[in-house]
Amino acid sequence: MQYRTLGRTGIKVSPYALGALMFATSVGNPDPGDSARMIHKALDAGINFIDTADAYGDSEEIVGKALKGRRDDVVLATKVGRPMGDDPNRQGASRRWIVTAVEDSLRRLQTDHIDLYQIHRPDPATDIEETLSALSDLIRSGKVRAIGTSGMPASDIVEAQWVAERRGLARFRTEQPPYSLLNRGIEREVLPVAQRHGMGVLVWGPLGQGLLTGRVRKGERNELRRAAFVKHVSDERRLETVERFVALAGEAGLPPAHLAMAFAIAHPDVTSAIVGPRTMSHLDDLLAGLDVTLTDDVLDRIDEIVPPGTDVGVLDQAYVPPAVQQARLRRRPAGERAAA
């Protein structure tokens, strides 16, 4: 295993990170014992980076139990920010919520510190200085080692770095954006900005939420395509592009998933790519591709299919800024439009 440095933290992590969403019994593997065995197998294979979140059901509890006796061997990351119930104050990135949420995560994870504590999504309602101030206090207390973001636009990353420098606060050391053969938009701004500020990058969705495994094909029906909540599997542009990648993988003598994972970790600004297996067979398939390296010829072919810096459709759960999501932020009041 060739370990990589997580930004400028000095922390060494594996190029594959084990995502723990699918260990939650409500959405993934219903057997916590099986999930624990998968965690142990990943650790034995050399993966030392585990990523979870407070909003992933009982994932933190399952990870915490599985790491008993092995906690010191793991770089443990979790996140705060997604709603935790109906209370409007049990979400976001306010000091009030962060100082409560971190204690809850520490208890569920059965640990006295979190190696990487990430803001799950940007919180436009909270001043970034308040967020950084609360996170800085957690670092000083020893409860958190480093802090990061997830889904933060490049302009917000720059603002956060500027505020941290001006106010003498802890800096965000990592960013966790979506990235895959189908979604390369972060190559345009997010990756260069992260590199400029010495941030590690932990990418999610390298398999296109299942599309790039080769198990979802155009014109075929399967369990994933029948899941109405997964909108991107019905996007014909994405499915057509997947067909081209499946053909390329065949020419290269690789399973499609290995092509996708090797692409994600080939970018020099990407530190690790999150794998999110639900079953042991999924994990075995992914571990078999750990040492795959793509040639320049294959990378050139990938650029022809999806040009650098472009997206084919969007991933479900990708962050959408309020200015795009909310019509009222794009339109003047009717009275002002009439007057104009």
Catalytic residues: 56
CA distance 273 to 258: 12
Residues 6+ apart with CB under 8 A from 71: 111
Q: Which of 198, 293, 261, 195 is nearest to 47 (CA)?
A: 261
Question: Which residue type sits at 263?
Answer: F
- Is the CB of residue 20 less than 8 Å from the CB of residue 51? yes
Q: What tokens appear for 325 in the block?
A: 């999501």
Residue with tokens 């998968």: 38
CA distance 44 to 29: 20
CA distance 293 to 107: 40
Q: Partners of 119 in the beta sheet?
A: 80, 149
CA distance 243 to 305: 11
Phi-psi region of 253 (alpha: psi -120 to 50; beta: other; left: phi over 0): left
CA distance 83 to 86: 7
Q: Between β-strands 272-275 and 200-203, what pairing exists: parallel, antiparallel or unpaired?
A: parallel
Phi (first) and psi of residue 250, to 5 degrees: -60, -40
Residue with tokens 């990756």: 191
